[in-house]
Amino acid sequence: MTTFQRARSEEQRAIRRRAILDATAAMLDEMPVGEISLNELSRRVGLAKSNVLRYFDSREAILLELLDRARREWTAELPGLLAAEIDPAGPAAGRGDRFAAVLARSLARRRVLCDLLSAQAGVLEHNVSAEVAARHKRAVLANLGELSALAARHLPELGELARPLCAQAILVTGAVWTHARPSPAMLAAYEADPSLAVLRTDFARMLEETLATLVAGALARAAR
């Protein structure tokens, strides 16, 4: 635990904010979003809880900022991954399947991003100020624009449907992640009755299949 003196300059306040974000990011590497508490964060960063709240509105505001950071990091790696996997001369259907596969595989490697996405609308966007909410939504729009541009580059047949497709892909990711993390009671039920295991969701496989269906549907709609 680090103990800070009171921040007296903009530079010192920026250092405090980075320390809070870094400590929260480290906690996310150890535990799911739902277990992150201000009490434990305050202990790790060496600030009273009231002082943590001087730099961020709430626990949710901290997590939203980390979600925006995680989105940017994910999007930054996609151009290389997509270029390596998609043959621009291939048929649209094949390119669509590869696009879905790349997105699904890259998201499956980013547990923290998926966990934050699953909590975004129901948890993280609550208990924040209008200023924090607006800043977050501007970041979401910027990230969606980058993702849509990638979709349009590799699947120009989508036309104006590239943007809604990408928005749907993000929504689906959070939903599939939630269903792929069953509770201990559900796991016990699956073990006790193997016939129920058909309902258990494998995140990577289900996400790839769902995204491929979304892409194929968008391509079909665009063709009409």
Query: Using one digit for the tens of pLDDT, what is the confidence trace for 1-58?
Result: 444 455 567 888 899 999 999 999 999 999 999 999 999 999 999 999 999 999 999 9
What is the reported pLDDT for 21? 96
Say how far apart CA 12 and CA 121 lie, in whole Å: 32
pTM (2 d.p.): 0.90
Residue-wise DSSP of 58-76: SHHHHHHHHHHHHHHHHHH
- Mean pLDDT throughout 97-102? 98
Tokens in use for 81? 């991954």
DSSP annotation of 58 reads S
Helix (H, G, I), strand (E, B) or coil at 126: coil
What the chain holds in terms of domains, given with CATH numbers, is: 1-56 (1.10.10), 58-223 (1.10.357.10)
Q: Which two tokens stand for residue 98?
A: 């590869």
Q: Say if CB 19 and CB 2 are below 8 A apart.
A: yes
pLDDT in tens, 158-167: 999 999 999 9
Cα distances (angstroms) measured from residue 46 to each of 19, 32, 61, 193: 10, 22, 19, 47
Distance CA 204, CA 201 (A): 9
Which whole number is the average pLDDT over 130-145? 97
Q: What per-residue confidence (pLDDT) applies to 1?
A: 47
Give me the pLDDT at residue 193, please. 95
Separation of CA 205 from chain center: 17
